Amino acid sequence: MAKYTSIGGQALIEGIMMKNPQKKTALAVRKPDKTIDISYINEKSLKDKYAFFRLPVIRGVITYIETMIQGYKVMMKSADISGFTDIEQEKESTKKDSALIGIITTLGTVLGILLAVVLFWFLPTTAVDGIEWLINLRFENFEFSSLMTALITQTIKICILVAYMFAISFMKDIYRVFAYHGAEHKTIFCYEAGLPLTVENVKKQKRLHPRCGTSFLILMILVNVIISTVLYSAIPVIRDNNFYRFGAGLILLPLICGVGYEVLKICGRYDNVLTRIISAPGMWLQKITTKEPDDDMIEIAIAALKACDEIEDETLEEETENNDNI
């Protein structure tokens, strides 16, 4: 029997995290000896403690922040369990001490943030100004409307995002993470269809899911078009000044996240013409961020979902080890 569920997940390094808001959050990771390690996360969300953070839009902001923090933690944990960290350390020179590695890591983080600012703010806004300047060479006193400014800026951001995802998908390790992403979606679809969680049943399912975080990224950009258009129309000086535009974007980011989250939940719950149109861009991007998984990856996804939803399975206890908590 088909059913709606709020279970979600995240692809990790040789593993998957599955999260059931009503029950548990579990990690299943393939260890170097090929057994499956099951871990549980006991962190409580602010939404569980305070009713205010469960309000529409507000809950989306909290979910986004907590997901980013938790996602980093579980990714690092999966790297340790799978042995990936040990492999990477072997590639590094044994002469490097921990202090130097710490400096390199910090520098890499800073450079990553700067790259994100350049790609998703400086480049799009500069491109819009450049296009407007070129048109002015032919038509004097030409100026984009607030809607056109927002549309062109966000379209460039989408193009950059798609190009970036496409480029990294050719990296071996990233390709495997994307395949685990596909296993996560297929397993959730199988569970929602009310079918037994077997490798064969999961393999038959679709790998593109409307509640995916990839869709959330696209939705944020689309919501940004609407909010930016209203803002630029109401306060033209923001549209005309790149730094004001950047500052306004930072201030409005929580609102954009919150609205995007609500739209994503609606698209995941209802299947009609409107929700399919809204979900379409994100679903298209998932063709890049999800790949077809192999049987071992599907086994990991099944183990993670069973663990997070407390589904009884006698073989699960035999195949897994360590019930640690983060």
| Stretch 294-318: mean pLDDT | 76
**Tally of domains within the chain:** 1
Q: What is the pLDDT of residue 235?
A: 86
Nearest alpha carbon to residue 308 among 65, 42, 34: 42
Rounded to the nearest integer, the mean pLDDT of the chain is 81
Residue 247 lies in a domain: yes
Residue 181 lies in a domain: yes
Domain that holds residue 252: 8-89+117-325
Buried (b) or exposed (e) across 52-86, using 16+ Cβ within 10 A?
A: ebeeeebbbbbbbebbeebeeebbebbbebbbbee
For the ranges 45-59, 110-124, 174-188, 220-234, the maximum mean pLDDT occurs at: 174-188
Q: What is the pLDDT of residue 87?
A: 54
Residue 64 lies in a domain: yes
| Stretch 104-127: mean pLDDT | 70
| Stretch 245-250: mean pLDDT | 82
Which strands, in side-by-side order, build the sheet including 36-41?
8-12, 15-19, 25-30, 36-41, 320-325
Per-residue pLDDT at 92 exceeds 80:
no
271-289 confidence digits (pLDDT tens) = 788 888 888 888 889 999 9
What is the residue-wise DSSP string for 251-271?
A: HHHHHHHHHHHHHHHHHHH--
Sign of CA pseudo-dihedral 33, 38, 43, 46: positive
Q: What is the pLDDT of residue 105?
A: 53
Tell me the C-alpha distance between 209 and 271, whole Å.
Answer: 12
Q: What is the pLDDT of residue 252?
A: 86
Per-residue pLDDT at 221 exceeds 70:
yes
Q: What is the pLDDT of residue 53?
A: 87
* Residue 196: band (very low, low, confident or very high) from pLDDT cuts 50, 70, 90: very high
Nearest alpha carbon to residue 187 among 14, 34, 16, 65: 16
| Stretch 179-204: mean pLDDT | 94
Question: Would you give the end-to-end CA distance of the chain in angstroms?
Answer: 34
Nearest 5°: CA angle at 203, between 199 and 206? 140
Residue 128 lies in a domain: yes
Residue 48 lies in a domain: yes
Question: Among residues of the chain, what percentage have pLDDT more than 90?
Answer: 25
Tell me the C-alpha distance between 119 and 133, whole Å.
Answer: 20
* Residue 318: band (very low, low, confident or very high) from pLDDT cuts 50, 70, 90: very low
Residue 188 lies in a domain: yes
Tell me the C-alpha distance between 44 and 210, whole Å.
Answer: 26
The model carries a pTM of 0.78
Contact 77, 10 (CB under 8 A): no
Question: Among residues of the chain, what percentage have pLDDT more than 70?
Answer: 83
* Residue 15: band (very low, low, confident or very high) from pLDDT cuts 50, 70, 90: very high
For the purposes of burial, counting CB atoms within 10 Å of the CB of 209, is it exposed (0-12), middle (13-18) or buried (19 or more)?
buried
Residue 97 lies in a domain: no
* Residue 113: band (very low, low, confident or very high) from pLDDT cuts 50, 70, 90: low
Q: Where are the alpha helices (DSSP H) in the chain?
A: 46-49, 58-82, 84-91, 98-117, 123-138, 146-168, 172-192, 199-203, 213-234, 236-240, 242-269, 273-289, 295-309, 314-319
* Residue 66: band (very low, low, confident or very high) from pLDDT cuts 50, 70, 90: confident
Give strand pairing partners of 16. Answer: 11, 28
Residue 95 lies in a domain: no
23-50 confidence digits (pLDDT tens) = 788 999 999 999 999 999 887 788 888 8
Look up residue 298 and give its amino acid: I
